[in-house]
Amino acid sequence: MKIFHTHTNKINSHFKNVLIYIFILLAFISIPGKISAQENSGEGRLLEGDILENAAEKSDNAEISIDTYQENLLALLKNPINVNKATPNELRNTTLFTELQIRDLKRHVEIYGELLNIYELQTIPSFSLEDIVRLKPFIVFSGSNKSNEPFIKQLYEGDYQYFFRIGGYLEQQDGYVADSLGNTEYYGNNQRIYTRFKYNYHNKLSYGITAEKDAGEAIFGPSQPQGFDYYSAHFFKKGTGRMKALAIGDYELRIGQGLIMWSGFGFGKSVYPVTVRRAGPVLDSYTSTNENRFLRGAGITYAFKNVYVTTFASYKKLDANVSLVDTIDSEVIQVSSINDSGLHRTDSELEDKNSIKETIAGFDATLYKGQFNVGISAIYFKLSSPLYKNPDLYNAFDFAGTSLFNSSIHYNFLWRNILVFGEAAISDNLKGAILNGIVMPVDPKIDIAIVHRYFSPEYQTLYAETFSDGPTPQNESGTYFGTEIKPLRGWKVSGYIDVYKHQWLEYSSDAPSYGTDILTQLTWQPTRSFETYIRFKHEISDRNAASDNFEDALTLNVITPIEKATLRWHSDYDVSKSLTVKSRVEVSFFNEQIGLPEKGYLAFQDFNYHPLSSPWSFATRFAIFNTDSYDTRIYAYETEVLYAYSIIGLAGHGTRAYFLLTYSPFKWMDIWARISNTWYSEAEIVGSGNNTFPGNTRSDYKLQVRLKW
Amino acid sequence: MKFLTHILLFFMSFPAFLSAQTGASDAGSRANAMGNTGVTVNDVFSAQNNPAAMAFVEHVSAGISTQNYFLIDGGINAHHGAFVLPVKDLNAFGLQVQYFGDNTFNQTLIGIGYGRKLGENIAVGVQLDYVGTKTSEVGSGAALTFDIGVLYKPVKSLTIGAKAFNPVRTKTGLTYEEELPAIINLGFAYQPSDKIILCFEGEQNLNEDLRAKCGIEYHIVDQLYLRGGYISNPSMFTSGLGVKIKELQLDISAQFHAQLGLTPGLGLSYNF
């Protein structure tokens, strides 16, 4: 995950949601005619577009990455799926279709025979024109989804890619400055290095290896004897026979709606308000660089007629904060937290590295019967040393000890046009969590979605992540209502309202707390080349009042409703086939109910130039920002080198600019070079601790090469 | 606990729904289920919600509805009774009675209204209101005021409505100089087909924060309507359903406040 660079450490922890948004974007934003453009720039364009940075404001303790999903989509782009031949589950696993569309498509094929072309898809009511434009690059109407090649040939007749990426800050941060004895806080230099080899055979078989070092981590030397800080390898095969999927090495696992297990991306609250259901393959390859949130071992999905049984096992080491050590053989007796940052730069960070071992095993069995499916699953976690968090009231019910058992029932049911889905789970302390949702196209122009959830404060999980306001399905109950309305051609109104409650204390609220989260957006797209929208987001949630914040666990703070709002205008215009300009103005408000509300703004202008005939292309931005405080910071997505992401939260007063150059001299080679700079007009010191920058600017460079053959 | 609830009620929510009650566009269980969006919908409760909308009511109709706030013992209730009499396509007369409060504080409103179509797609309306206020502490008072409304349909699927209650800011007539709330409602309803209505409304009590309200009604099968909605300030989800048996319509509603809990409602209306 350290392929990101951020301006504050705090922002780093917000990435999960941001990634989720990128994911949704990839999946759902229509990029008419762009995806099918030439392959190279096509890939670049997938990453662009309107990224929903406001999600980054949500704090989170877990990180997941969308690399796998993005790669799957790109692989699908190269090897489109034949929708006539694909089974419902194969269509589901692409995550591009709704349940309703899958059913209608299959019915259509059954009644009228195979579809001949994309135009015939328009005759199916559940496929809107927008859907068809979005799906077009990923689907075909002839050819086979099965591989004819023998297994051995699948192992080497596909596409190979190799990536090498290096980047870092130009300024020297304090952690790299030697003290009088010549020692530095960080063991390594300030470069980030990422390298990766991947193989893909028609989206059916893949394997690869990824290695990475974060800024400040050494390569070899006493602190990193094995070279890179992080290695990951995987082998993944999709099957069309009885064996549906096989994962060896690092993999992702998703069950039901995520109440007991969800690694990788899942939908949450977004500007796609009716996309609320979790779906996707149970097993998937893992190719990201988050160093903790994945499974390492093996998993297999096998079909016994209509019942798909997935069994999985994982064993890996985790970073954890050691709180008690056996003084004789220095064995870890107890840990106080599991550390997801994946950073191993200093002595204390290295101490935590791989300090405990985690074993996971379980199964999922899902019965598919027509428009209905229901599954049961169970998962068992075991840590080599017990986890005991520093006792505090807010974490009184969190998981503690060495082993945890979770079990759940999940279902999906499509009745007429109405999709009902849900999951109910329990943990081994017999506390439960339940989530149910409904998605209805009540009118051809109106879709609505409702999700209700109740998560007991005492429900315990380790890898769960679901549709909720908080990061995990614990201590929350709430109701969500989302709608998407297309009243006139080119116009769209989308919005949601989520009202939720935390029955027990939370980290930042010393009393049961309530929240209301509202988003509305009006989008106007008069032509394919121009889109503009206005978005208003407003959230009120109870937090400890800042004026009397006691750190003492025994003193309870007074809670107060905190109000946050942003208003954004954005426009995106394709001036010609090769030039896109984007503009944005965003204002933010933050009101703690004491003193005056704080405010801030951000404005930027982008130019993205991708001439079709030239091997060169570039993307650049100039932004100005002025915010009263860190609380009124504004996030903005930036165009990055392929497979890297940056979402920058800007606070203070200054400017931000970047320039990304892409050069594709040969068919088998692409080069990206990027430089960015943030200048603060007032700040004397930028950053904090070991990450303190000298002066009031910070500049970041990145260079990436891809070879493919 | 009960005591606490009362205290909470008084300090947090009472002023908000108090002011929203007398004179707001929130009469009828149908509107209650749809986030109190009443200003754009034409039914018998238009007699309170928007006198202009009465001109679009096709039948002689009568209705009653009731709500019990947060199921509190002793009862803070709202009751409505309404009657609409359309005359010759263009005109309609209305009569309405409403009661809101409990035995320590309550208000009764009696209104006589008139709505008239100015064209195929536009109507205006006016209503005279008598408002009696009774308190256990500071005596009683009475006031006369009025409300005016407009409703128009610029295109088939869109209805826009507005209503102002007590725009002249009459006093309640109590010994202390308490004003009756002046409330302005403005909203629109989007109805792409016979099956669905979406309503959005803003309600501004001149002494309070703006309330945003939205609601949806889904005519799922012949006799059954499903409804949902949301109100801000204070934040409440609403839901309900309606059953239509020939000319009789039965509506139930439920409004959920995160801290204070449930407000159920029940209504009956009949087209003669």
Residue B210: pLDDT band (50, 70, 90) is: confident
The C-alpha atoms of residue A548 and residue A559 are separated, in whole angstroms, by 10
Contact assignment for B259 to A445 by CB distance below 8 Å: no
Nearest to B79 by CA among B32, B42, B33: B32
3-state DSSP assignment of residue A38: coil
Chain A nearest-CA distance from B33, in A, is 14
Please say whether the dihedral angle defined by the alpha carbons of residues A48, A52, A54 and A55, taken in this order, is positive or negative.
negative
Provide CB contacts within 8 A for A162, sequence distance 6+: A195, A196, A197, A198, A706, A707, A708
| Per-residue model confidence as pLDDT tens digits over B211-270 | 999 999 999 888 999 999 999 888 889 999 999 998 899 999 999 988 888 899 999 999
Q: Which of B190, B193, B235 shows the shortest C-beta gap to A499?
A: B235
Contact assignment for B230 to A442 by CB distance below 8 Å: no
Residue A67: pLDDT band (50, 70, 90) is: low
Nearest to B229 by CA among B251, B200, B252: B200
| Per-residue model confidence as pLDDT tens digits over A594-646 | 778 899 999 999 898 888 888 899 999 999 899 988 888 888 888 888 877 77
Is the Cβ of A479 closer than 8 Å to some Cβ of chain B?
A: yes
The pLDDT of residue B54: 92
What average pLDDT score do residues B66-92 get? 88
Between the alpha carbon of residue A597 and those of residues A118, A590, B105, B235, the distances in Å are: 52, 6, 36, 21
Q: How many CB pairs under 8 A join A and B?
A: 41
Residue A403: pLDDT band (50, 70, 90) is: very high
Q: Which residues of A touch B258 (CB under 8 A)?
A: 499, 501, 514
3-state DSSP assignment of residue A372: strand
Residue A23: pLDDT band (50, 70, 90) is: very low
The pLDDT of residue A316: 92
Q: Which of A481, A516, A518 shows the shortest C-beta gap to B228?
A: A481
Strand stretches in A239-318, DSSP E: 243-253, 283-285, 295-304, 307-318
Residue B57 identity (one-letter amino acid):
V
**β-strand pairing of A139-140 with A81-82:** parallel
Give me the DSSP letters along B33-86: HTTT--TT--STTHHHH-GGGGGG--S-EEEEEEEEGGG-TT--EEEEEEEEEE
Residue A140 identity (one-letter amino acid):
V
The C-alpha atoms of residue A68 and residue A252 are separated, in whole angstroms, by 9
> What does the block give as tokens for A192?
């980030």
User: Cβ distance B123 to B92 under 8 Å?
Assistant: no
Q: Which of A444, A497, A514 shows the shortest C-beta gap to B258?
A: A514
Compute chain B's Rg from CA coordinates: 17
Chain B nearest-CA distance from A609, in A, is 41
The C-alpha atoms of residue A638 and residue A5 are separated, in whole angstroms, by 11
| Per-residue model confidence as pLDDT tens digits over A269-326 | 878 888 888 887 889 888 877 777 889 999 999 999 889 999 999 999 988 888 888 7
Residue A130 identity (one-letter amino acid):
E
The C-alpha atoms of residue A556 and residue A634 are separated, in whole angstroms, by 31
Contacts by B97-103, CB closer than 8 A, 24 or more apart: B98/B21, B98/B22, B98/B27, B98/B48, B100/B18, B100/B21, B100/B22, B101/B18, B101/B76, B101/B77, B101/B134, B102/B74, B102/B75, B102/B76, B102/B77, B103/B74, B103/B136
Residue reference for tokens 């005939």: A613
The C-alpha atoms of residue A584 and residue A566 are separated, in whole angstroms, by 13
Is the Cβ of B261 closer than 8 Å to some Cβ of chain A?
A: no
Contact assignment for B235 to A540 by CB distance below 8 Å: yes
Residue A42: pLDDT band (50, 70, 90) is: very low
Contact assignment for B195 to A485 by CB distance below 8 Å: no
Chain A nearest-CA distance from B180, in A, is 28
| Per-residue model confidence as pLDDT tens digits over B9-45 | 444 444 444 434 677 888 899 999 999 998 998 899 9
Q: What is the ipTM of this complex?
A: 0.71
Roughly what angle, to the nearest 10 degrees, separates helices A39-47 and A67-78?
150
Contact assignment for A485 to B193 by CB distance below 8 Å: no
What average pLDDT score do residues A567-593 get? 88
The whole-chain average pLDDT of chain B stands at 86
Is the Cβ of B3 closer than 8 Å to some Cβ of chain A?
A: no
3-state DSSP assignment of residue A453: strand
Q: Which residues of A touch B157 (CB under 8 A)?
A: 487
Is the Cβ of B259 closer than 8 Å to some Cβ of chain A?
A: yes
The C-alpha atoms of residue A591 and residue A114 are separated, in whole angstroms, by 58
- H-helix or E-strand spanning residue A32: none
Nearest to A627 by CA among A666, A589, A591: A589
Residue reference for tokens 């099956």: B195
The C-alpha atoms of residue A282 and residue A375 are separated, in whole angstroms, by 12
Q: Which residues of B touch A499 (CB under 8 A)?
A: 235, 237, 258
Nearest to A94 by CA among A105, A80, A108, A107: A80
Chain B nearest-CA distance from A541, in A, is 12
Judged against a pLDDT cut of 80, whether residue A13 lies above it is answered with no
Provide CB contacts within 8 A for B121, sequence distance 6+: B152, B153, B154
Helices of type H across A8-81: 9-12, 15-28, 39-47, 67-78
Q: Which residues of B touch A479 (CB under 8 A)?
A: 237, 256
Residue A69 Ramachandran class (φ > 0 left, ψ -120 to 50 alpha, else beta): alpha
The pLDDT of residue A249: 92
What average pLDDT score do residues B110-114 get? 93
Residue A94: pLDDT band (50, 70, 90) is: confident
Is the Cβ of A522 closer than 8 Å to some Cβ of chain B?
A: no
Q: Which residues of B touch A497 (CB under 8 A)?
A: 230, 237
A172 against A301, higher pLDDT: A301
Judged against a pLDDT cut of 70, whether residue A172 lies above it is answered with yes
Is the Cβ of A516 closer than 8 Å to some Cβ of chain B?
A: yes
Is the Cβ of A501 closer than 8 Å to some Cβ of chain B?
A: yes
Chain A nearest-CA distance from B196, in A, is 7
Judged against a pLDDT cut of 50, whether residue A413 lies above it is answered with yes
Contact assignment for A442 to B216 by CB distance below 8 Å: yes
Nearest to B141 by CA among B105, B176, B174: B174
The span from the first CA to the last CA of chain A, in angstroms, equals 27
The whole-chain average pLDDT of chain A stands at 81
- B 142-161 residues inside an 8 A Cβ radius of A: 157
